[in-house]
Amino acid sequence: MPAIVNPMFNCCAGGGAGFAQPSQITKNVFLGDMEDASDFGKLKRLNITHIVNVTEKPPVFPDDFLYFSLSLRDQPDVQIAPFFLESTAWIRDAIAMKTKDGEACNILIHCKAGVSRSVTICAAYLMRIEGMQLHSAVEWMYHQRPVICPNEGFKLQLAIFEAELFFGSSVVRSHQPRWNFYELNRVKQKRKWKDIAMPPGAPDIRYPCCIVS
């Protein structure tokens, strides 16, 4: 498979100071903030047709884009996992649609800052639809958008979701500080998840946005 390269030095505009553009996660999925979701011109330039709105605010352009809205707060005690199946299926079905020009549809997943809520939904999508392990999914998103930082409650729910999907955990033995916190460690000890070996090198993305031969 072609190597995945850093978008800051290639085609994606999502890296860079201030994140003036949404961060491209796959060929058709972008991760962004409320400012991105409120810029009609930017959305059109990126050929966005569908928007996953993970904020408590209503859609900005309900007559111009198709929305999937989750009115959730960014707090560790908020239950976001019950929406994983429905939201990821919606994203999958949206990508399968075609525009009037016969192109695949592009999706923006956003919350207020593009740091926690939207990242959590995107990670669930990468696991359930793209078949990625949680560790690889989060590292890939961090690679594309270094500001990501899901709260601990959301990370715990993602870890449990991965164990349900793959009957094991890719974060059990992770040395990344983001996977070392009390509640997750307590659950890991209690449930004794089977360790999923993390593959070496870049994660396997079916439709990466930046590749080199």
By annotation, the residues acting in catalysis are 111
194: CB partners within 8 A, 6+ apart? 167, 168, 169
Residues whose CB falls within 8 Å of the CB of residue 97, separated by 6 or more in sequence, listed in order = 49, 50, 104, 105
The angle that helices 182-191 and 152-166 make with each other, rounded to 10 degrees, is: 20
Distance between CA atoms of 154 and 76, rounded to whole angstroms?
Answer: 6
Per DSSP (E only), the strands in the chain are 3-4, 23-24, 29-32, 48-53, 66-69, 106-110, 211-212
Length of the chain measured in residues: 213
Give CA–CA dist 104/200, Å, rounded.
31
Q: Could you give the strand order of the β-sheet that contains 29-32, starting from the edge strand earlier in sequence?
A: 23-24, 29-32, 106-110, 48-53, 66-69
